[in-house]
Amino acid sequence: MSDTKVDHVVIPGTFDPVTYGHLDVVKRAHRMFPRVTVGVAASATKHGTGPVFSLEERVCMIEEALDELALADAVDVSPFSGLLVDFCHEVGARGVVKGLRAMTDFEYELQQADLNSHMAPDLESIFVMSSPEYGYVSSSIVREMASLGADVSFLVPNVVSERLRERFGM
């Protein structure tokens, strides 16, 4: 473990697409740490066929959502491929922040945090409990609802609702 202060954190994810749950974690990390970078993983093989939205689209939607929240100047958004720990070192971050919803998140996140800590003991893994109103929100639920024609505007920012409508032809 390093005794250097954690002054810059990465919030990593696939963000396919970004939800109000993710943005809640970003807002809270922004309150706690001087510098926040949202790291958008290429995740090319996720769900077998890869993400629904391209890496550029996912980055763009986050930037526009941060703009709506007046956080665009305070939070960086950057794509990455390869290991999260390497990306953190590249941007000079000393910690990783993730949101935890139910217990089902816990085992997966603990495994990731253990592996990351093994590969990069200098990086701290920090978890924030999701706000109760966003505990059930996930990108996969948003994708499924949108593909079935449901209105998801209470789960995602306007920019995302619009892109989902275009993608699923609603």
> What residue numbers does the annotated binding site cover?
14-15, 22, 46, 84, 98-101, 109, 134-140
Residues in binding site for ATP: 14-15, 22, 99-101, 109, 134-140
- C-alpha triplet 28, 103, 78: angle, nearest 5°: 40
Q: Taking the mean position of all CA atoms in its chain, how far away is CA 157?
A: 14
Rounded Cα distance between 64 and 42, Å, is: 19
Q: Which is nearer to ligand PNS, 43 or 78 (CB)?
A: 43
The 74-113 site mask, x for binding ligand PNS (CB under 6 A), equals ---------xx---------------------------x-
Separation CA 93–CA 91 (nearest Å): 6
Distance (Å, rounded) from C-alpha 134 to C-alpha 89?
30
Structure token digits, residue 146: 């949108």
Q: How far is the CB of 41 from ligand PNS (least distance, A)?
A: 3
Least CB distance to ligand PNS at residue 102 (A): 14
Cβ atoms within 10 Å, residue 9: 26
Strand partners of residue 98: 127
Which stretch, 11-19, 65-73, 123-131, 146-154, contacts ligand PNS (CB under 6 A)?
11-19
Distances in Å between the Cα of 94 and the Cα atoms of 84, 132, 138 are 12, 28, 26
Give the count of residues interacting with ligand PNS (CB under 6 A).
10
Between 41 and 146, whose beta carbon lies closer to ligand PNS? Answer: 41
Q: Quick one: which of 41, 62, 142, 155 contacts ligand PNS (CB under 6 A)? A: 41
Of the candidates 106, 115, 121, 144, which one interacts with ligand PNS according to CB under 6 A? 115
Q: Which residues in 122-161 contact ligand PNS (CB under 6 A)?
A: none
User: What is the distance between the alpha carbons of residues 66 and 14, in angstroms, rounded to a whole number?
Assistant: 16
Interface residues toward ligand PNS, by CB under 6 A: 12-14, 41, 43, 83-84, 112, 115-116
